[in-house]
Each structure stands twice: as C-alpha cells, then as structure tokens.
Amino acid sequence: MRDMRLIDERVITLFSPDTILDDVKRVLSNLGITFEVKKEGEGNYKVFGKKDESEILISISTVWKPFSSLPGFSTGKSLAIADPAPIVSIKTYSSGNDTFNRTLKLRVELGLLRAGG
C-alpha cells in the first residue's frame, strides 16, 4: 500500500457496527470504489478500497459499554434498549490527492448521517 494519511475520524454510539459497515459499503459503491471487507472480530472491520491510483482504508472498531457509563444515560432508570451499547470508532485513511480526499471525507460524513456520524 502507498503512504496513507488520516483524513477523517469519528465516533458513533448506539448504532450497530454492522449498520455502520453497510453505510460505508454504500458510500464506496456510490463513489465507484472497489473494496474488500476484512472482519477482525465482533464489530471490528477493515475496509480496503481502490479507485484509479488512490487507495483507502476505513477502520471500524467497536467497544461495548454499559449504558450507565455513557453521558446522559446514568438516570438509574431501566432503559428499554439492549445493554451494553456499541461505541463505534471510524477512521478513514487515503493515499489520494486533496480533491479525492475531500470528496471521500464528505461522502463518508453524509453517508453516516443517519447513524449520527
């Protein structure tokens, strides 16, 4: 792989990592980027992609925490939501030029909006 740099990093809570992965795959497909997904454990994925001379890597990492440890959820009341909660970290790396990187970053951001990204 060519030299890559971090172009975007975000954390999303309460959405499953599989939902996030589906959003990322849809974004890459819409951009015409060919990609391969490698599962690295429960809720952890590496998505490798390539378009023309640009290579990308999107890392999806998940940790699971009890709701009571999340800000705003320590009410002491029972929640009708499955516990523990997924905390998903998404990091996007690219070897592309500035225009490609700006486009990729914007499309990932927009593609993750439904997940609060």
For the entire predicted model, the pTM comes to 0.85
Compute the distance between CA of residue 37 and CA of residue 111 in angstroms, rounded to an integer: 17
Q: Measured between alpha carbons, how far is 112 from 106 in angstroms, rounded to an integer?
A: 10
- Residue range 58-76, pLDDT digits in tens: 999 999 988 766 666 655 5
Q: What residue spans define the domains of the chain?
A: 5-72+83-115
For residue range 89-116, what is the model confidence (pLDDT) as tens digits? 999 999 999 999 999 999 999 999 865 5
Supply the pLDDT for residue 84: 85
CATH 2.40.110.10 fits 5-72+83-115, yes or no: no
State the pLDDT at residue 22: 95
Statement: residue 80 has pLDDT above 80: no
Q: Is residue 103 helix, strand or coil? A: helix
